């Protein structure tokens, strides 16, 4: 006989409404706490995530499997392995085939260096779902952490074919290759991971490990012909040396037509310049390039060149550039150039870089502004092609030199080996007083 039989019906109804209201309130609160825990996890607050899931468990004595899994995961990430394993096992008592609990327990075993137990858990998942990616990754990571890089590499390379857009696979493959001392292939794997997910920390750290204290020479040379603009032959040579991964010095010979002296560009005269330069990181994301040069000009004149460029590259692979150049002339005037650019990825293969240049030069009042847009399509470790177009205007005391400017450029690059590339450039420029086309072929070499 139910005790509710002797309670008036109106009171029974009120009790039922109250019970439903309390149950609904608890459900809503639990849902809100789940959302809060997920947000804390995304923000990297693992302690807060764990505390939030623990509150849900305390408020729901009957149990909440999702909260229990979340709490176990938070404990595992914090290194509290005994607590995490106990929580995962409690879930598995209720649901022996719960994939999240099996995988979570497997990773916790691997992180606590219980590799046989980890392998057992991941294999249980693969019996249930043979193509489960998380379990296959778990087996590979467990092998990698157990100092079996070849076994891990075999699994990652198999997964790579099935999931070509998974950055985690390429980054992990790079770690396995690095453990096998295959730095060239590891570099390729880390670079592929960054193309898929720009700013991925483990790929960046992998490349930093490869480049740490690496003393490397690099050599770049360009040769070609310019119609109505200087002579044919060698146009630019750069010899650089990386003292360490964030410090580089170089010497540069330049006989190209450049924006730093528009008057000289339009006259089409030869102007050989010799530079010394240094690159150094000045902050976590910033690097500075400093160049000092001397230019031989016609009629026994010369010009000193002082160039400073700041570059910032953030984790999203966005590049900010700001540069200034002052070039005092032996005839007591100074050419000036200031420029800025912003490069950013629009996909895993496409990049865009708009830029703006402002310059003034010559003994006369000769000023120019120019805006350009550069787009590059690049395949990982294969060829790339870049196209740019720009417009501008010249303001000059000489009427024939005043007017609009148009410029375009196509740059093609192809790897002839892991560290060597062949480059081709075709540039066209049209100004009120002068037009020319430059065709150049170049090579870039890195040693050793």
Q: Which two tokens stand for residue 119?
A: 């392998």
Residue 113's SS3 state is: coil
Q: For residues 135 and 123, what is the distance between their CA atoms, to the nearest angstrom?
A: 7
What are the residues facing 223 on neighbouring strands? 234, 441
Q: Stretch 247-269: mean pLDDT, rounded?
A: 72
pLDDT interval class at 23 (50, 70, 90): very low
- Which pLDDT does position 250 carry in this prediction? 96
Residue 227 has pLDDT above 50, yes or no: yes
Q: Is the pLDDT of residue 12 over 70?
A: no
Phi, psi dihedral angles at 440 (to 5 degrees): -130, 145
Which of 36 and 148 is assigned the larger pLDDT? 148
Mean per-residue pLDDT over the chain, rounded: 82
Confidence of residue 316 (pLDDT cuts 50, 70, 90): confident
> Can you tell me the mean pLDDT for 162-183?
90
Lowest mean pLDDT among 13-17, 211-215, 286-290: 13-17
Q: Where are the domains of the chain?
A: 216-447
Q: Which residue has the higher pLDDT, 431 or 68?
A: 431
Distance of alpha carbon 167 from alpha carbon 5, whole angstroms: 64
pLDDT tens, position by position, 363-419: 667 889 999 999 999 876 678 999 999 999 988 877 777 899 999 999 999 988 767
- pLDDT value of residue 28: 44
Q: Which fold has domain 216-447?
A: Porin (2.40.160)
Distance in angstroms (rounded) separating the CA atoms of residues 200 and 321: 22
- Neighbouring CB atoms inside 10 A of 406's CB total 14
Q: Does residue 27 have a pLDDT over 60?
A: no
Of all residues in the chain, what percent are helix, strand and coil, respectively (each to 5)? 40, 35, 25
Determine which helix (DSSP H) or strand (DSSP E) holds 169, and give its type and residue range. Answer: helix 167-179
């Amino acid at each position: 006989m139910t005790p509710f039989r002797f309670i008036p019906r109106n009171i029974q109804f009120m009790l039922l409404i109250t019970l439903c209201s309390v149950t609904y309130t608890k459900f809503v609160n639990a849902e809100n706490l789940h959302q809060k825990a997920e947000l804390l996890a995304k923000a990297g607050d693992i302690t807060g995530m764990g505390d939030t899931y623990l509150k849900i468990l305390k408020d729901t004595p009957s149990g909440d499997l999702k909260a229990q899994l979340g709490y176990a995961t938070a404990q595992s990430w914090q290194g509290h392995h005994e607590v995490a394993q106990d929580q995962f096992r409690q879930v598995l008592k209720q649901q022996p085939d719960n994939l999240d609990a099996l995988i979570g327990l497997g990773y916790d075993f691997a992180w606590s260096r219980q590799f046989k137990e980890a392998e057992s858990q991941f294999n249980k998942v693969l019996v249930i779902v043979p193509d489960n990616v998380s379990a296959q990754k778990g087996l590979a990571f467990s092998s990698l952490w157990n100092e079996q890089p070849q076994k891990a590499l075999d699994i990652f390379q198999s997964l790579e074919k099935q999931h070509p857009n998974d950055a985690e696979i390429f980054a992990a493959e790079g770690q396995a290759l690095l453990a096998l001392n295959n730095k060239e292939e590891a570099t390729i794997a880390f670079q592929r991971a960054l193309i898929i997910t720009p700013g991925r920390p483990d790929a960046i750290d992998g490349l930093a490990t490869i480049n740490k204290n690496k003393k490397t020479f690099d050599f770049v040379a360009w040769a070609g012909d310019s119609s109505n603009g200087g002579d044919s032959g060698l146009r630019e040579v750069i010899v650089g040396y990386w003292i360490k991964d964030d410090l580089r010095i170089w010497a540069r010979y330049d006989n190209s037509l450049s924006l730093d002296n528009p008057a000289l560009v339009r006259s089409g005269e030869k102007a050989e310049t010799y530079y010394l330069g240094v690159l150094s990181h000045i902050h976590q994301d910033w690097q500075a390039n400093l160049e000092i040069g001397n230019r031989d000009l016609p009629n026994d004149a010369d010009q000193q060149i002082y160039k400073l460029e700041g570059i910032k590259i953030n984790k999203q692979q966005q590049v900010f550039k700001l540069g200034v150049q002052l070039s005092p002339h032996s005839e007591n005037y100074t050419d000036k150039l200031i420029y800025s650019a912003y490069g950013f990825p629009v996909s895993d293969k496409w990049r865009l870089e708009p830029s703006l240049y402002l310059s003034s030069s010559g003994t006369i009042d000769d000023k120019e502004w120019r805006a350009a847009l550069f787009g590059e399509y690049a395949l990982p470790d294969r060829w790339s092609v870049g196209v740019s177009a720009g417009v501008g205007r010249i303001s000059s005391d000489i009427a024939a030199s005043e007017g609009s400017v148009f410029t375009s450029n196509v740059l093609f690059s192809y790897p002839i080996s892991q560290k060597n590339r062949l480059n081709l450039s075709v540039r066209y420029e049209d100004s009120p007083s002068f037009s020319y086309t430059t065709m150049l072929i170049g090579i870039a070499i890195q040693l050793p």
